[in-house]
Structure 1
């Protein structure tokens, strides 16, 4: 029974982690590392949040943060910590943060399977 109980607990923990994880691509992680080096601070983490606003109702926010909030979900991507608050987590489950540096696009992008649609500016979603 002990083995069965441990397996059940591990499965729950794994499901919880998978349900609340945001993905940071290697390119995006490298860009975040470079930006943190420019800031000269090693105490900052990339916080990804969802806030009301924008044309479609919700807007992404990406910023460096030193705070730890109750219920924060923290994932590590090659030394880059990404933090999602508990209210934003359901909106960001399975979302991928990438970085583009092309002539037609530059900056961080979020590919979110939970978004029902987005506005033309690409800054907000519903």
Structure 2
């Protein structure tokens, strides 16, 4: 499945990894000296709103994975998570208030107060 998102970028995963997020992920991979890992976004049951994101480096390739390359970083989405994250944007913020990866998902109809889960 190939999707064109709001920014006009065509992706197989339906997810956009911003330049800031790709740069941070690439720096982390370079720091570890691992070129065999992909950045995986998955959706799992849990959290107070029903579903929880998982964003992690993975050395596995699952049957049915959708993948895209962003600046030398392979983004992987398993086929069960793809419908939940299609159209989402993963960014990296580094401000005095917060630091880390963020996920802006237009499919999420609500989230919990802690921002860790969605529905």
TM-score (norm 1): 0.85
- Does residue 1:18 correspond to 2:3, yes or no? yes
CA distance in structure 2 between the partners assigned to 1:54 and 1:107 by the alignment: 19
User: Is the partner of 1:51 in helix, strand or coil?
Assistant: strand
User: Is the partner of 2:93 in helix, strand or coil?
Assistant: strand
Q: CA deviation at 1:104?
A: 1.4
Q: CA deviation at 1:101?
A: 0.6
CA distance in structure 2 between the partners assigned to 1:37 and 1:73 by the alignment: 23
Equivalence map 1:55-74=2 (5 Å): 55-74=48-67
Q: CA deviation at 1:87?
A: 0.2
Number of residue-to-residue matches in the alignment: 111
Considering only CA atoms, is the larger Rg found in Structure 1 or Structure 2? 1
> 1:30-80, CA deviations, whole angstroms, 9 ceiling, x for partnerless residues?
000000011111000000000000110000000100111000000111111
Q: CA deviation at 1:120?
A: 1.0
User: Is the partner of 2:114 in helix, strand or coil?
Assistant: coil
CA distance in structure 1 between the partners assigned to 2:24 and 2:77 by the alignment: 19
Structure with more of its chain in helix, by fraction? 1
Structure with more of its chain in strand, by fraction? 2
User: Is the partner of 1:64 in helix, strand or coil?
Assistant: strand
Aligned-residue RMSD, C-alpha: 1.0
Residue of structure 1 in register with 2:91 after alignment: 98
Residue of structure 2 in register with 1:121 after alignment: 114
